[in-house]
Amino acid sequence: MAKKNEEKGDDNMVEEKEAKKKVTELEDLPGVGDVTAEKLRKAGYDIEKIAASSPHELDEIVEIGVETAKKTIAAARDALEMGYETADKVLERRKEIGRITTGSKELDALIGGGVETMSITECYGKFSSGKSQIGFQLCVNVQKPKEEGGLGGSVLFIDSESTFRPERIKQLAEVAGMDADTVLKNIHVARAANSDHQIILVDKADEMVKQHNIKLIVVDSLTSHFRADYIGRGALGDRQQKLNKHIHALQKLADSRNLAVYITNQVMDNPGIMFGDPTTPIGGHVLAHAATYRLYLRKGKEEKRIARLVDSPNMPEGECVFKVSPKGVGD
């Protein structure tokens, strides 16, 4: 009897291993037929992305039911053998991380060598503090080769405040000695009409990322539409839920495609702060926890700007001074 159970257990292990080997295409997953597979591909889903999805998210896309979605996700995870790994392997993988120079050596040093891939870098501050200008400079710099502080890639730019200016990009490209027309052609711009449209633009960005070698996503600004669409305390819960899902979608893209995400954020004056700086970023704890690097920008005299690193998993808090001039971001 014990021998039979042992043999049965061995058979089950063999079947499990074979099941893992068999899953090479979307159609191999349970609950996924030809039609469903086509829908998933159009939505930019592969086995890896399905494995990282939630059942409700998958159900929304292909309407296969939450229970079936759970089985599909479980099979995708088994095929990829997702689980724990040793820290030395994580360190090895992090060697693939790239960094985009901001144009300022001081600012680069503050954040560990430039804007990092597989991370979200957030800049918040009052108007004219340099948030958008850093975004424009990164759009140009990311197209430079690695030895010049770039990643040799293209850009997705989501504009929610009507502040994208191709004229400024052209000016920065010419200063850098780059072909302005080529630089502009490598920046794919979308104007978000509202917060729902902004969410869709990110959710459907995966295919664009693959097709156009996207190495940087800029969202300027992340919170503008959310502030306008969700008014009052009654809508705060819904706003934060959607914002949380949105920022995690950006992080998924950053992780799966090894690209950098740069977001700008609006601020408000906190009436509860009687002494000191009342400037508070929008988005609350949801955004504070999600951003990998968080920078607070302030305007100084003339072209000078002050950047303070508020949060980072590996860099100490600190400040630096940089300049924003007609030539771009520099020291």
Q: φ, ψ for residue 31 (rounded to 5)?
A: 85, 0
Residues 192 and 267 in one domain: yes
pLDDT bin (cut points 50, 70, 90) of residue 82 is low
Query: What's the CATH code of the domain at 131?
Result: 3.40.50.300
* Nearest of 75, 126, 121, 118 to residue 98 by alpha carbon: 118
- What is the arithmetic mean of pLDDT over 51-59? 87
Note whether residue 51 is domain-resident. Answer: yes
Q: Are residues 145 and 230 in the same domain?
A: yes
> Hey, how many other C-beta atoms are within 10 angstroms of the C-beta on 37?
17
pLDDT score for 47: 85
Decide which of 50, 80, 110 is a domain's last residue.
80
Q: Which residue has 């979308």 as its token pair?
A: 190
Q: Is pLDDT at 20 greater than 90 in this prediction? A: no
Residue 137 lies in a domain: yes
143: nearest Cα among 108, 105, 181:
181
Please list the residues that pair with 321 across neighbouring strands.
Answer: 306
d(CA 290, CA 251): 8
32 and 160 part of one domain: no
Band (pLDDT 50/70/90 cuts) for residue 178 is: very high
Is residue 52 included in any domain, yes or no? yes
In the chain, the percentage of residues whose pLDDT exceeds 70 is: 93
Both 144 and 70 in one domain: the answer is no
Is residue 195 reached through a cis peptide bond, with omega within 30 degrees of 0 on the bond before it? no
308 and 186 inside one domain: yes
Please say if the pLDDT value at position 22 is more than 80.
no
What is the identity of the amino acid at 317?
Answer: E
**Strongest mean pLDDT among 56-65, 70-79, 198-207, 315-324:** 315-324
State which of 27, 50, 80 marks the end of a domain. 80
Query: Domain span at residue 34?
Result: 2-80
Residues 114, 259 within the same domain: yes
For residue 19, give the CATH number of its domain.
1.10.150.20
In the beta sheet, which residues pair with residue 264?
123
Rounded to an integer, the average pLDDT of 133-162 is 96
Q: What is the pLDDT of residues 278-308, one digit of tens each?
A: 888 988 899 899 999 999 999 999 899 999 9
> In this structure, are 171 and 207 located in the same domain?
yes
Specify if 217 maps to a domain: yes
Establish if 70 belongs to a structural domain.
Answer: yes
pLDDT at 1: 52
Q: Examine residue 104 and state whether it is found in any structural domain, yes or no.
A: yes
3 state DSSP class of 1: coil
- Cα angle at 88 between 290 and 99, to 5 degrees? 50
pLDDT, the chain, mean: 89
pLDDT band at 275 (very low <50, low <70, confident <90, very high): confident
Query: Which of 1-5, 118-122, 292-296 is predicted with the least confidence, judged by mean pLDDT?
Result: 1-5
Q: What is the pLDDT of residue 165?
A: 96
Amino acid code (one letter) for 181? D
pLDDT at residue 16 is higher than 50: no
Residue with the larger pLDDT of the pair 270 and 226: 226
Same-domain pairing of 75 and 102: no
Look at the chain and report how many structural domains it folds into. Answer: 2
Q: Are residues 253 and 311 in the same domain?
A: yes
